[in-house]
Structure formats: structure tokens, C-alpha cells
A and B are shown apart, each in its own frame.
Chain A
């Protein structure tokens, strides 16, 4: 009797501890205040140290010969922390644009004067706490003329209020979230395609090939993937395709048996969706293992990585994914001419060459391309405005409709959201990535239906 009573307490305690563990897990996944505080304090020291010489060198080099002056573009870059990898690409991307503008283009033409461009940047350490303070510093102390946003939607959201308050134009190169542009900001402009358009090109491709496609939309239940899915849904309706099944799945999901079975029962022959690498790969893998006969598969994020092919082998073939940009895109001055718009910036071949020089032999990825395109986008707007005034440049952005190596650039005048740029669709074909859509960027024609998936 007494023994039993004791075990009951033990049982209770066990669950208490489990609860504490779960609680600790939750606490750890959201940023702890005490931790960030110490990080911020220690990092203040390191940053101020690195900042001073950089700021000094830039002031010394002002007013070079042959130029009427210097346009300073300020930004923060994630050189440490979780975006360090993307940050390095972004920095090289900026450098390529500045090199092209100064050395090839001969400087930015503002009215009848020609200005040199310089970049001033600090390391934001991938921290949204650091960003507002550094952007204030760029504006008030370094007196930059224009701003480039930091990498990622989260950091862009942290920088946007500062740019807005100081009425300085800020161009986003790595903030894909649509919500940034729903805050009523007037000075924030987007160069890359927003999240809501990620699967749009894939839907367009499928609509062209197969107007009777029956689509299953299976995506991670998280802000980014849900925005992508909503955009895909809108486009599916617009193009008159049938959405026969829709299901969000939990973060970290590994087993998709029920979901795939439900989608098969609904008669779906096209699979769209995904989220992160792990779940996207598992979804495609299990769709394959369960013998789902699919004509088209469009998944965000996962298929872009080489590991996707390594894990899925033949099952990877036929799978499509959207990309902001990829090496091999065929955007060209001729393509611009066809569309009746102006070409601006280096060609893709020139871009790869310039990137190699700037990075010491490296090859760019889409993070670098986005960054380069953002600077070109800004430079064009300055030239159109013929002024260094932020209001004039922001107004000029509404008139800019150009083609670059990154694709077409054109914003929605009211919100600053990118509407001209199109995601390219990349498809795994015989073990290789091929850009298949839109036609002006394509290297190869899309394989649809994916025979290895559909005829098995």
C-alpha cells in the first residue's frame, strides 16, 4: 500500500521533470534575454574596435580625381553568427556591383555630374539587436546617402524602422518576406522576389504544360512556407488549375504516410510545397517510396542542395525548385530588347568574371547575385532621379523597369514590393540542375510529366 503511494509521487515527479525539460526546450528555442544582453555588451567592444579604422579609410578616400564626389551606401553584413555564410556572399556581391559601377560603368551619373560609389559597412553578427544601432550610426555618424538592408527578413525588419524614420531609401536584397512591405513603409524597396512568388513560376510552367493538373499543396506550418503556399494557391486559382489537396505539416515532421495517402486518394498528380531541407527531402523520398505517380514536383529549399541528390538518387530527377538566380541563367541584353526594356549592369558572363576577381577565384551563389542586383537597382534609380535626395530616388524607383543579369527589376509603386523579378525554375535532369523556366532564362526545356515518377 505504502509502496504504491510512493510510486504515485514518483510518477508525478517524472512528469514534472518532463514538463521542465519541455519548458527548457521552449525557452531555449526563443532567444533568452539574459544571454542576448551579454552577447550585445561583449560585441559592442569588438565592433567599435573594427569600425573606427574602416570609417577612417572611407573618409580619406573621398573626392577622388575625375569624380564629382562620392556616393556612400551604408549597410550591415552578417560576418559572424548564423548568417555568416550568406553574409560573405552578400559582401562579395556588393563589391562586384561597386567595381562594375566605378570601373566599367564609369561611376553613377547624377545629372551632369559623375559620382564614385563607396560601401560603408559594419558586422551585424546576424543579430537583430545590433542592427538598429548600427543603421543609426551609418545615418548619423557616417552620413551615408543610401542604405542596403541586412541579409534575411528578420534583420531587414529590424533595420526598416530606422531607415524609415530618417527618410533614407533602403534596398532589400535578402528580405523575401512579404510582411516587410505591408507595414506602410515608404522608403523600403525590394530587389529580390518576395516569398509569395516562390512557387508562382512553377505553377505557371505546369499551367502551360498541363491545364488539367491536379495539385496537392503540402507545406511546413511556418511563416515562410505558409506565405509561399498562399502565393502558390493564388496562382493556381488564377491559372485555373485544380487544387485537390492542401495540408500544412508540423515543423520537424519526418513521417508523411498519412498525408501522402490522403493526397493520393484526392487524385493529385502534382506535388507542390516543402519547407526546410529535412522535411522537404523526406516528403519527396516518401512520395517516391509510396509509388505516388506524379507528373510534376515543385519543392522549395531542399532540392537546391547537393545533399538532396545524394540522398534521393534517381528520385531527385524531375523534381523542380524555385531560385532567385542560378549560374547559367540566360538573361541577356537581347532578351531585354525583346521585352522592350533597358539592360543595366554586367552580363552574366561578365558577372561571373568580376565575381572571380573580387572573391579571389570564387563562384557566386544567389545570395551574392541578389546583393549585386540590389546595388545595380539603386544605382539605376539614382541615375533616373538625377539627384541624391532620398525622396527623389524613391520616386525614381517607381519608374525603373530594367533587365539585369539577375532578371527583370520593377517594384510595386505603393509598397516597394518586387513585382518584375521572376523566380527561375530549376529542375534535376539526369542528375544535373537545369534552369527550365522562364523561357528567357532557361538552359533546357522542362521535363513534364516527369517520366521516372509518372510512368512507373
Chain B
């Protein structure tokens, strides 16, 4: 095996894995805290990509402004999704039953279809992106691998965001309240935590982060089509299950693991048949999912209950 080829693919896998892990942070929060399975994950990610693209192509604004706008739009979208969909379904209820979980799941599924069709209508199936824009120099060389600086920017933003979310959940009263609701919603309300407020906050943060991650996905992929939703949504679920429901750090670590497994298996499969290396490498991620569900269903960082 050529070591430089391995290094190239592991570095790229790592860079992608960080994005993948961050993209799943919002999903893991919504799922962990509110038992809301966001089937619109991929489409919500794309919302951030398209916000940045519109501001760049239509209004000539810097992609950095677009990234900030994606975060803001995401927070507003989280607010709207909560009040339009989730409040009635899970916000008001005390105990989340299977029936409620199913209702939210279907509601999010409906949202995904609506958003996807909207994207096709508004942006078509042509790829869109920032063209040749890059932050400073277009590329740098690290470990014999040339990397687009846009990808480094995306990874840096993702890592900083994960750190901030982690510190927020770990150190602030609000964050601790979110974790309390995640562990036991009834007990949390007994000690005076307003569950509606926490659920609203979780949705705003969860959706906000997911939309913001769309900006990173765009920086990484260089261009997006509505199809990208179908690549990132299933992988986000793998990451959440692997990392453990509700675990922000788990999500990041799981993303990196998936990225590295992807890079590694691509190199190994290429030795035998380069023609099938990409699809086989991608399916290894899902084999990991099956193994996790069978042998450690709570994930790496999840709590056993």
C-alpha cells in the first residue's frame, strides 16, 4: 500500500468527518432532548448552503457574511419550526409517548419533502457554490496533502462551534437545564425548569446549528445540489447513533471515526477494484451503524439506561 495515498485519504477523511460530526450536532440535540427525529436533516442543512449562495450570487456579499446569515436564518427557522410544528406535538406534553414520536417524525418528514421540492423549484438541480472564491490563498500543503483553505475554514468553524455548544451545555444554567430535561423531563420540571422554554431553546439551537453546518458542507463540497441532502441525512443518523443520543462531543468523535473509516476503506478497496471504492467505502459507514445497533446501541458516548 502506498503510504502517501493512505495519508491523503486519511487527512481528507478527517477533514470531512469533522464537518459530518458538526452537521449531526443539531440532530443529536433534538433527538436526545425532545425525541424529535429530524427526518428533514439533509434539507435543513441545505437551507444554510442556499442562504449563503443567494447572498453571494445575487447580492455579491462575501461568503463569510453568508455563513453568519446562515446561522441567523437557522435560529429563526428553529423558532418557526418549534411554534409551527413541534409546540403542539411535543412542546406542551409532559410525557413523550411513542405516538408523539411518530407524529413529530412524520411532521419532519413532510417538512423534508416540502423543502426539497422548494429547492428544486427555486434553484434547480444544477450545482451551485462560491465558484473560485477562497479565503486568502486557495490552498495549503499539510502532510504531503494539498488542502483547499475553504475546507480548513469550514473545519475550524465546526470545531469552534462544537466547543461553544459543549461549554454552553456543560457550564451555563440554561445548558444544564437542557441536559436535565434530556435525562428526565419530569424530574426537571419538578425542580422548576420550564420544559416549554427548554424545548424551544433546544429547537432553536438544534435547527440553528444544522442550518449553520450547511455553510460548512458547502465550503467542503465546493458546490451543492438538492441531492446533497440525501448524502448527508443518512450519514447524520449514523453519526448520532454511533456518538450516542444527545452527546455533542460524541457526535464530533463519531463523525471523525466515520470519515476516517471512509478514507481508509477507500484506499483498501482501491487496491482490489478502484471502480467500486467509493460506494463500498460509503457502505462501510452503514455497516458500522448495524454493528453499533447490535452491540452497543447506546453509542460511544451514550449513557446506558
Contacts and interface: CB of A to CB of B under 8 A. Distances in A.
Interface stretch (A50-58, A311-319, A350-358, A393-401): A311-319
A9 B98 contact: yes
A38 interface: no
B221 A255 contact: yes
A25 interface: yes
A257 B12 contact: yes
Nearest to A249: B278
Given A246-B274, A258-B263, A291 B132 contact: no
Given A15-B237, A315-B132, A261 B8 contact: yes
Nearest to B221: A254
Given A10-B98, A10-B101, A291-B139, A18 B234 contact: yes
Given A254-B222, A254-B223, A289-B148, A14 B138 contact: no
A252 interface: yes
Interface string B76-107: 00000000000000000000011001100100
Interface in A307-340: 311-313, 315
Interface stretch (B62-70, B173-181, B196-204, B225-233): B225-233
B245 interface: yes
A11 B222 contact: no
Given A246-B274, A264-B146, A7 B4 contact: no
B278 A250 contact: yes
A13 interface: yes
Interface string B247-275: 00000000000000001001000000011
Contact of B305 (A3, A9, A13, A285): A3
Interface centre among A250, A262, A277 (most CB of B within 10 A): A262
A252 B305 contact: no
Contacts of B279: 250
A257 B266 CA distance: 13
Interface string B190-224: 00000000000000000000000000000011111
Contact of B105 (A10, A252, A286): A10
Contacts of A260: 146
A203 to B, nearest CB: 21
A13 B237 CA distance: 12
A185 interface: no
A250 B231 CA distance: 13
Interface size band for B: 35 or more
A326 B141 CA distance: 40
A278 B228 CA distance: 13
A291 B127 contact: no
A281 interface: yes
Nearest to B125: A278
Contact of A278 (B39, B97, B138, B223): B223
Interface residues of A, number: 49
A313 B233 contact: no
Contact of A282 (B12, B127, B139, B275): B127
Contact of A13 (B35, B105, B146, B227): B105
B128 to A, nearest CB: 10
B241 interface: yes
A9 B297 CA distance: 12
Contact of B275 (A1, A21, A221): A221
A282 B293 CA distance: 36
Contact of B127 (A7, A25, A250, A281): A281
Contact of A258 (B131, B223, B266, B305): B266
B119 to A, nearest CB: 15
B9 interface: yes
A248 interface: yes
A44 interface: no
B223 A289 contact: no
Interface in B5-57: 5, 8-9, 12, 15-16, 35, 37, 39
A249 B274 CA distance: 9
Most buried by B among A247, A254, A291: A254
A247 B39 contact: no
B8 A262 contact: yes
Nearest to A253: B278
A372 B269 CA distance: 47
A223 to B, nearest CB: 12
Contact of A17 (B35, B109, B150): B109
B95 to A, nearest CB: 9
B151 interface: yes
A404 to B, nearest CB: 35
A6 B98 contact: yes
Contact of B5 (A246, A249, A265): A265
A258 B274 contact: no
B222 A255 contact: yes
A278 B132 contact: no
A290 interface: yes
Contact of B233 (A18, A255, A288, A312): A18
Nearest to A314: B132
A49 interface: no
A285 B132 CA distance: 7
Contacts of B147: 257, 290
Given A14-B237, A282-B223, 10 more contacts: A11-B293, A13-B105, A14-B39, A246-B274, A254-B222, A257-B12, A258-B12, A281-B127, A289-B139, A311-B131
Interface of A: 1, 3-4, 6-11, 13-15, 17-18, 21-22, 25, 221, 246-250, 252-255, 257-258, 260-262, 264-265, 277-278, 281-282, 285-286, 288-292, 311-313, 315
22 contacts: A4-B305, A10-B101, A14-B237, A17-B39, A18-B39, A21-B230, A221-B275, A249-B278, A250-B278, A252-B225, A253-B278, A254-B221, A254-B222, A255-B16, A261-B145, A262-B5, A262-B9, A278-B127, A278-B225, A286-B222, A288-B132, A292-B146
Interface of B: 2, 4-5, 8-9, 12, 15-16, 35, 37, 39, 97-98, 101-102, 105, 109, 126-127, 131-132, 134, 138-139, 144-148, 150-151, 220-225, 227-228, 230, 233-234, 237, 241, 245, 263, 266, 274-275, 278-279, 289, 293, 297, 305
List the 8 closest A-B pairs by CB distance, nearest first. Answer: A261-B8, A278-B127, A254-B221, A250-B278, A258-B12, A289-B138, A4-B305, A290-B146
